Amino acid sequence: MKTVVTEQPQQDNKIVIEAVLDRDLEDINSNPDRWAFYLLSERLRYDMFHDEWEVRHGAAIGLREIIRHHAKSAGKSPNADNNEERNASWLDDLCIRVLCLFCLDRFGDYVSDSVVAPIRETCAQLLGLLFQYLSSESIRKVVQHLVYLTSNTQWQVRHGGLSGMKYAVAIRMNDIGPLLPLLLPW
């Protein structure tokens, strides 16, 4: 839908504004070979690396909610034969983007004597949700990268790695056994 001003044959100074269907958007969104949230998720994945922290935070929140409700259908196509593979690939790609954000994000909101890192925290929550749907091999690789992040010299990167570990452990408490040697390599 888009808003347009419609000219009306009238005598006084009135303007008619109406919402009309945007045919260009209709064509893009009606592609039956795409996941229903394809365009939105692509935009949010792109916005995860925006210059403004509010945009990055909003993108992480949006992706977190999409994953909360639609992770099993992420990246799938109604007419594809390899949907499980497409789903796993899409989720793995999102994990990589979250790990990149942990490395790149330096925003900290200093409140009184403490620091709040809303983007890293929201991305850690997103990563925790993703852990419910990832293969064991993908989880192992992500946890290895989180451990690696904790050895970085930048405190923000270490914080991102530790936040990711916190949600990995919280989500995978039932099968924590294989993760413990990875999380505590010392």
Provide the domain count of the chain.
1
* 6 found inside a domain: no
Give the integer Cα–Cα distance in Å for 89 and 82: 11
* 12 found inside a domain: no
* 4 found inside a domain: no
* 67 found inside a domain: yes
Among 171, 166, 88, 158, which residue's Cα sits nearest to residue 131?
171
pTM of the model: 0.78
Give the integer Cα–Cα distance in Å for 127 and 167: 7
Give the integer Cα–Cα distance in Å for 49 and 165: 22
Q: Which residues of 91-125 are buried (b: 16+ CB within 10 A; e: fewer)?
A: bbebbebbbebbbebebbeeeeeeeebbbbbbbbb
Question: Using an 8 Å Cβ cutoff, are 116 and 131 in contact?
Answer: no
For the record, the structure tokens of 69 come out as 């409700």
* 27 found inside a domain: no
* 22 found inside a domain: no
* 1 found inside a domain: no
Give residue 117's domain range: 34-183
* 16 found inside a domain: no
CATH number for 61: 1.25.10
| DSSP structural state of residue 112 | T
List pLDDT tens digits, range 145-178.
999 999 999 989 999 999 998 988 887 767 767 7
Question: Using an 8 Å Cβ cutoff, are 43 and 60 in contact?
Answer: no
pLDDT higher than threshold 80 for residue 6: no
Question: Using an 8 Å Cβ cutoff, are 130 and 168 in contact?
Answer: no
Angle at 61 between CA 132 and CA 86, to 5 degrees: 45
List pLDDT tens digits, range 52-79.
999 999 999 999 999 999 999 998 888 8
